[in-house]
């Protein structure tokens, strides 16, 4: 197998294996298995749930003995078959010649959770069973979901599976390899799957792309690369050859890709979820609406150019992210020029250590960069005071801005505001937020001062100070935002919670 470090850098995955094996406790394989379970938990749900234990036997219902099901049209029978677990759907062929025709015309749905032995030591035959299932079905393939199988030592079954999927027009593919090893090559036939609309790949070494054999992903709308070894060149080539791609997610990637450069005329959502990217550059993406990060402890620049429709951004971590907009590095306290503004942004989420002057001062600067912001999520991170000279004096000295004057309606705090500098920020937003209507706080004991302050402002016009009129304060568990919300365009605010536990006052 080819080393991961073929671009001159270190073999990142070899280092990970060595690191795991050098630690006390779980082996490298056990550690990666835990990562695999986490990754699979992020995936969209299966089209057909896995079969449960057989129900208890009951007396058969009394009927008239007539076969009513066979009276249904073939199209409806095909829908019924498509909702059965794969083995049960295949068994319908023994019922009659007509049912064999229905089975052949029904687009195939394969899920390894439906196949015997998918849980436990019998996963080796399941790797072959998935391949045979696709090969033997005479009709088209709608969806294949494989998350419990190791293809190690079963390269032939894997190659056959992908070749058949390409030939039979698979539309939806979730293909994960249960390691070991963690750098198993993915066959090049994946690039021929021209009918794909959704593709999630997990724990593979992605094949190289060359000009002679570019990917045929003309219909692909959703792409997820989970713990995959993908060179920067391949990511760039994928974006260039996916003219309808709307959702891109890079999840738990270590070292490759090292730099995510997003250039796409169709992309609407880009997600970097717990990866170790060195840099994220977004340019010439006229349809991009969401740029979302869940960053591990690696510093990186975030460069944004040409995003006229960007509405959602976060979580920006002031300690890790170096933000650049329109070629201008955003610094605390700077005079914000028009080129460094994103008027389309409506929702911003930030992580800030208020005890650090530079991080605290970034907040009012960002409010000027995003003048039409309507929802602000703030995750305060407790830290030892580096310096606290700003405290109340800094926040009291600040004037208003267009964002606070006209647009900011909701402030959601994902944690506690208890130190002087944190309370000063809250007072500033309440004082200057003339459009502010709601504040959401976490139901934590240390938040009592913040809650008392906000509740005292409810319904008041604050005419003397020019402040807004807060009409709602609520308590909610707001630290559990999930990956699926990040990529689900039907969720208006991916950082919010649906369940407000306790409305107050």
Q: What angle separates helix 123-136 from helix 155-167, to the nearest 10 degrees?
A: 30
Task: Reduce the secondary structure of 76-138 to three states and give it as a string.
Answer: HHHHHHHCCCHHHHHHHHHCCHHHHHHHHHCCEEEEHHHCCCCCCCCHHHHHHHHHHHHHHCC
- Stronger pLDDT, 191 or 255, i.e. the higher one: 191
Q: 464-490: per-residue pLDDT in tens?
A: 445 566 666 665 555 567 899 999 999
User: E strands within 203-267?
Assistant: 222-226, 247-251, 259-262
Determine the Cα–Cα distance for residues 146 and 250; give it in Å rounded to an integer: 19
Higher pLDDT, 13 or 357: 357
Residue keyed to tokens 């019998």: 122
C-beta of residue 69 within 8 angstroms of C-beta of residue 99: no
Tally of CA atoms within 13 A in the half-sphere of 16 that contains its CB: 23
Taking each helix axis as running N to C, give the angle between helix 420-432 and helix 357-369, from 0 to 180 degrees, rounded to the nearest 10: 20
pLDDT for residue 441: 86
Reported confidence tier of residue 204, pLDDT bands at 50, 70, 90 = very high
Residue 100: band (very low, low, confident or very high) from pLDDT cuts 50, 70, 90? low
Query: Which sign does the torsion angle of CA 227, 228, 232, 236 carry?
Result: negative
Residues 6+ away with beta carbon under 8 Å from 439: 410, 411, 412, 413, 430, 454, 470, 472, 473, 474
Position 8 scores a pLDDT of: 38
pLDDT at 148 over 60: yes
* Average pLDDT of the residues in 253-263: 90
Q: Which helix (H) or strand (E) holds 375?
A: strand 375-380
Q: Is 80 exceeded by the pLDDT of residue 387? A: no
The residue ranges of DSSP E strands in 326-374, in sequence order, are 328-329, 347-352
- Give the range among 17-21, 92-96, 251-255, 426-430 with minimum mean pLDDT: 92-96
Rounded Cα distance between 154 and 473, Å, is 58
Across-strand partners of 260? 280
Looking at residue 31, its pLDDT comes to 72
Residue with the larger pLDDT of the pair 296 and 488: 488
User: Strand, coil or helix: what is 22?
Assistant: helix
Cross-strand bridge partners of residue 503: 474
CA distance 491 to 480: 15
The pair phi, psi for residue 252, each rounded to 5°, is 45, 55
Structural contact between residues 450 and 431, judged by C-beta atoms closer than 8 angstroms? no
CA distance 438 to 371: 18
Distance, CA of 200 to CA of 484 (rounded, Å): 13
146 φ, ψ (degrees, to nearest 5): -130, 110
pLDDT at 422 over 80: yes
CA pair distance 204, 227, nearest whole angstrom = 7
CA distance 367 to 357: 17
Q: pLDDT tens, 350-381?
A: 999 998 888 999 999 999 999 999 999 999 98
Q: Which residues contact residue 371 at a Cβ distance below 8 angstroms, ignoring those fewer than 6 apart?
A: 341, 343, 401, 402, 403, 407
Q: How far apart are CA 324 and CA 331, in angstroms?
A: 9
Confidence band, pLDDT 50/70/90 cuts, at residue 89: low
CB 414 within 8 A of CB 479: yes
Name residue, tokens 């009513």: 68
Spatial CA neighbour of 217 closest among 189, 191, 246, 186: 191
Q: In the chain, what is the greatest distance between 2 CA atoms, to the nearest angstrom?
A: 86
* Three-state secondary structure string covering 35-86: HHHHHHHCCCCCCCCCCCCCCCCCCCCCCCCCCCHHHCCHHHHHHHHHCCCH
pLDDT tens for each residue of 306-324: 999 999 998 999 999 999 9
DSSP string computed for 406-425 = II--EEEESS---SHHHHHH
Helices 28-41 and 12-22: crossing angle in degrees, nearest 10, is 110
Mean pLDDT of 423-432: 92
Distance CA(365)–CA(435), nearest Å, equals 18
3-state secondary structure of 300: strand
What SS3 class is residue 205? strand
| Mean pLDDT of all residues belonging to the chain | 81
- From residue 381, how far is each of 298, 320, 350 by CA, in Å? 16, 13, 10
Cα 155-161-11 angle, rounded to 5 deg: 45
């Amino acid at each position: 197998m080819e080393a991961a470090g073929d671009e001159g850098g270190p073999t990142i995955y070899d280092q990970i294996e060595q690191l795991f094996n050098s630690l006390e406790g779980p082996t490298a394989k056990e550690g990666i298995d835990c990562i695999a379970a986490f990754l699979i938990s992020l995936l969209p749900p299966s089209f057909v749930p896995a079969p449960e234990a057989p129900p208890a036997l009951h007396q058969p219902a009394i009927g008239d003995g007539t076969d009513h099901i066979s009276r249904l049209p073939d199209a409806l029978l095909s829908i019924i078959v498509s909702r059965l677990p794969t083995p049960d759907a295949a068994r319908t062929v023994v019922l009659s010649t007509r049912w064999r025709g229905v089975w052949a015309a029904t687009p195939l749905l394969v899920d390894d959770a439906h196949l015997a032995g998918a849980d436990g030591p019998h996963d080796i035959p399941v790797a072959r069973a998935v391949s045979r299932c696709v090969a033997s079905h005479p009709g088209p393939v709608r969806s294949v979901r494989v998350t419990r199988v190791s293809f190690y030592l079963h390269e032939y079954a894997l190659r056959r599976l992908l070749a058949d999927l390409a030939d039979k027009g698979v539309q939806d593919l979730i293909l994960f390899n249960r390691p070991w090893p963690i750098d198993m090559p993915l066959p090049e036939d994946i690039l021929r799957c021209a009918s794909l609309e959704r593709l999630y790949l997990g724990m593979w070494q992605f094949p190289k792309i060359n000009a002679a054999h570019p990917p045929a992903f003309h219909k692909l709308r959703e792409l997820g690369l989970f713990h995959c070894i993908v060179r920067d060149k391949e990511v760039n080539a994928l974006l260039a050859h996916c003219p309808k791609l709307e959702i891109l997610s890079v999840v738990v990637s270590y070292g490759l890709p090292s730099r995510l450069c997003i250039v796409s005329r169709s992309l609407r959502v880009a997600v970097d979820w717990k990866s170790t990217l060195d840099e994220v550059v977004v340019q010439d993406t006229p349809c991009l609406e969401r740029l979302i990060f869940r960053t591990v402890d690696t510093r990186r620049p975030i460069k944004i150019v040409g995003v006229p429709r960007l509405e959602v951004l976060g979580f920006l971590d002031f300690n890790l992210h170096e933000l650049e907009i329109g070629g201008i590095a955003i610094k605390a306290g700077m005079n914000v020029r028009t080129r460094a503004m994103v008027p389309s942004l409506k929702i911003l989420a930030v992580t800030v250590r208020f005890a650090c002057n530079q991080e605290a001062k970034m907040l009012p600067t960002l409010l000027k960069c995003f003048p039409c912001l309507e929802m602000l999520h703030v995750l305060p991170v407790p830290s030892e005071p580096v310096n606290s000279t700003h405290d109340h004096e800094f926040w009291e000295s600040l004037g208003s801005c267009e964002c606070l004057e006209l647009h900011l309606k909701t402030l959601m705090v994902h944690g506690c505001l208890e130190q002087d500098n944190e309370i000063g920020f809250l007072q500033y937003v309440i004082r200057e937020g003339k459009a502010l209507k709601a504040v959401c706080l976490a139901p934590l004991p240390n938040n009592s001062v913040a809650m008392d302050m906000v509740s005292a402002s409810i319904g008041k016009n604050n005419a003397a100070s020019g402040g807004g009129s807060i009409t709602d304060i609520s308590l909610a568990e707001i630290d559990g935002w999930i990956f699926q919300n990040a990529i689900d365009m039907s969720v208006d605010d991916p950082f919010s919670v649906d369940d407000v536990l306790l409305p107050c006052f």
